[in-house]
Amino acid sequence: MSLLEIENVSKRFGGVQAVDDVSLHVDEGEILGIIGPNGAGKTTLFNLITGTIRSDTGKISLAGADITTTSPTKRARAGIGRTFQVVRPFLRMTVAENVMVPVLVHTHKVSEARNKAVALLEELGIGKLADLDVSQLTLAQRKRIEVARALATEPKVLLLDEVLAGLNNREVLDVLPFVNQVRARGISIIMIEHLVKALTSVSDRIIVLDQGTLIAQGKSDDVLKDPAVIKAYIGEEDNVEG
Partner 1 sequence: MKRSHLISGVVVLALMAFLPLIIGQYLLNNAVLIVMFVGITVAWNIAAFGGALSLGHAAFFGLGSYTMAILLLDFGVNPWIGMLAGMVVAAGGGLLLSIPLLRLRGPFFTLASIAFAEVIRLVAVYARDFTGGSEGLTIPYAPGWLNMSFSDREPYYYIVLGLTAIAVLVSVWIYYSRVGYQLRASGSDDEATRALGVNTAVLKVVALVISAALTGAFGAFAAQYFFIVDPETNFSLNLYSIQPALNGIIGGAGTVLGPILGAVLMTPIGEYMRGAFAGQQGLNFMIYGVVLVGVVMLMPGGLVSGIEKLRARFRLKRGVGRRTDTTAALDESRAEDRL
Is residue 101 a contact residue for partner 1 (CB under 8 A)?
Answer: yes
| Contact residue for partner 1 among 26, 48, 60, 104 (CB under 8 A) | 104
Is residue 52 a contact residue for partner 1 (CB under 8 A)?
Answer: yes
Size of the site for partner 1 (CB under 8 A): 42
Is residue 153 a contact residue for partner 1 (CB under 8 A)?
Answer: yes
| Contact residue for partner 1 among 5, 84, 194, 211 (CB under 8 A) | 84
| Contact residue for partner 1 among 171, 183, 213, 234 (CB under 8 A) | 171
**Of 84 and 195, which CB lies nearer to partner 1 in the complex structure?**
84
The half-sphere exposure of 162 on its side-chain side, counting CA atoms within 13 A, is 17
Per-residue x/- track, 174-213, partner 1 (CB under 8 A)? x---------------------------------------
Is residue 110 a contact residue for partner 1 (CB under 8 A)?
Answer: yes
**Of 20 and 97, which CB lies nearer to partner 1 in the complex structure?**
97
Is residue 136 a contact residue for partner 1 (CB under 8 A)?
Answer: yes
Contact between 164 and 133 under an 8 Å Cβ cutoff? The reply is no
Which residues are near partner 1 by CB under 8 A?
50, 52, 71-73, 76-77, 81-82, 84, 88-93, 97-98, 100-102, 104-105, 108-110, 113, 128-129, 131-132, 136, 138, 140-141, 149-150, 152-153, 170-171, 174
